[in-house]
Amino acid sequence: MSVEVVGQGVLRRFPLRVWQRQQQYTNDLIREFQLLTLGDQTLRHGVPGRLLDVAADFVVKYGTYSEAIMAEREAALARGEIAIDATIPLLSNTPELVGSVRTLLGEVDAFCRQGALLTLSVPGDVAALREWTMTEMLRQYQGQDPEPWQGELD
């Protein structure tokens, strides 16, 4: 299935410092899952392996979009901004993409709550940003106006 950009969304009052924490949490989690699957091949077929596979697939399919999004956010941080109206492409598969990511992240969160990792469960502000971002993608894909982030900026 070919993925096309069908519109552009805006994440109003997007909290850059919370996003930085989200990026760090995600990087730490992926690194730990990589180590886990090296040490225990059975985990390759469980939640850690699925997350790693989805992350690798995401880079292949959406890397160009992700690079532009990250560049916009990192430039704003370099200017000293703490929040921006961040643009995001709305893709033809947005509902399916958000649905599958939500499901997988729920499984990852449950796996992390089991306590067998150095990386703890997702921090509340990071979870809130993640959910708000996915909700906004779906809302705007359906033609609704953007709703600004209501959480803390720092």
Q: How confident is the model at residue 88 (pLDDT cuts 50, 70, 90)?
A: very high
3-state secondary structure of 12: strand
Q: Could you give the C-alpha distances from 90 to 39, 56, 96, 127, in angstroms and in order? A: 38, 20, 12, 21
- Cβ count near 15 (within 10 Å): 23
Residue 113 has what pLDDT? 84
In the chain, % of residues over pLDDT 70: 97
Mean pLDDT of 48-73: 85
**pLDDT tens, position by position, 3-29:** 899 999 999 999 999 999 999 999 988
Among 32-46, 75-89, 100-114, 127-141, which is the least confidently predicted range?
Answer: 32-46
Residue 1 has what pLDDT? 59
Instruction: Indicate the helix (H) or strand (E) that contains 91.
Output: strand 83-91
pLDDT at 133 over 90: yes
Q: How confident is the model at residue 119 (pLDDT cuts 50, 70, 90)?
A: low
Mean pLDDT of 102-117: 85
pLDDT at 63 over 70: yes
Q: How confident is the model at residue 136 (pLDDT cuts 50, 70, 90)?
A: very high
Tally of residues, the chain: 154
Residue 34 has what pLDDT? 87
